[in-house]
Amino acid sequence: MFSTSALLALNSEPADATTVSSSTRKMPPGKLYAIADIHLSFPGNVEAWSQLAPHPGDGLILCGDVGESLEHMRIACSKAASCFDMVWWVPGNHELYTVRAEGSDGSRGEPKYEKLVEVARQFGVLTPEDDFMVWEGQGGAAVIAPIFTLYDYSFKPDDVPISGALNWAKEENIEATDEYLLHPDPYPTRQAWCHALVQKFEAKLEAAKAQHPTLPFIIANHWPLRKDLVFIPRIPRFVIWCGTTLTEDWHRRFNAKVVISGHLHIRRTDWKSGCRFEEVSLGYPRQWKDCADMGLGVNELLREILPGPKAIPEGGEQPAEWRSFTMEHIY
């Protein structure tokens, strides 16, 4: 179990339970970092999160899967907000689970998401429901765009129809826990919720692009925007729960400088069409054990988003750069 000191450090009350308008926020002057999949249902990850160091003047993006319960959300936001001048959060699939044993109140689907947004705002953490903001710190001006898209099973092989995607995965004994714990209420299906979310955030990105036509975007979403960035060799058919093809070209359409995601639990950096794609997950304890064995913890595994690398690869393309993982720890 985790220590009493970790609990005391992480379960602090919000300094101000009122919603903080993004328009009144002062952008930090320092660096922008990101991390995903801290999975606070695991005691080892709670202990690691309790050791997050202060970053005065910096910003942080929590890119989904902080845990399953509202209490996990409070722990994640409380610590992040105490260490960074500004924090953003986007939901992953685990936050949306309805798991009473994890302290959930039984909310399902969109109502669960709305409660998570309320918790984030209690700690001054910005969400996909808040206005996009212009970063003015290191790395140059950019629009910070946290979004929420879910998935629709379209990351399937071309010869498999959408209607057969679930059965295709089950042929290899692969079925996501989402099928039992992630409810789409009030939408009839997760696909329908995904398509509504894609419409919503496509419109929000278009409006921000019209407002800031010369600025690059930093897009943060728990699920990868592109299928070709999904690499899960031990369970390849899990790919259908990893995103939607509807976002395939968003990095080009919205002038993205960096696209941040998690979900895969495999840290990597890719370059596509001059855009840097960062998978920034921590993962389950066994999946970052290789890092822990090297003395690397949460602080070392935070990914610097801005300013980031100074040079863009020739042609704006570069093969994946894998960051501290071993194949046996993947899923």
* pTM, two decimal places: 0.91
The model's pLDDT over 202-223, given as tens digits with 9 standing for 90+, comes to: 999 999 999 999 999 999 999 9
Tell me: pLDDT of 102 over 70. Answer: no
Cα 171 from chain centroid (whole Å): 29
Query: Is the Cβ–Cβ distance between 322 and 268 less than 8 Å?
Result: yes
Return the pLDDT at 94: 97
- As assigned by CATH, the class of the 4-15+26-329 domain is alpha beta
Map out the domains of the chain as residue ranges. 4-15+26-329
Of 148, 11, 123, residue with least CA distance to 60: 123
Of 93, 131, 91, 147, residue with least CA distance to 115: 91
Distances (CA, A) of 326 to 161, 197, 276, 329: 33, 34, 23, 6
Instruction: Please give the Cα distance from 93 to 107 (Å, whole number).
Output: 14
Instruction: Please give the Cα distance from 323 to 58 (Å, whole number).
Output: 22
Confidence of residue 317 (pLDDT cuts 50, 70, 90): confident
* Residues recorded for the chain: 331
Return the pLDDT at 108: 94
Most confident among 12-21, 225-234, 321-330 (mean pLDDT): 225-234
The model's pLDDT over 158-179, given as tens digits with 9 standing for 90+, comes to: 999 999 999 999 999 999 999 9
Residue 316 CB-half CA count within 13 A: 9
Instruction: Please give the Cα distance from 273 to 153 (Å, whole number).
Output: 25
Residue type, 310: K
Query: Is the Cβ–Cβ distance between 97 and 103 less than 8 Å?
Result: no
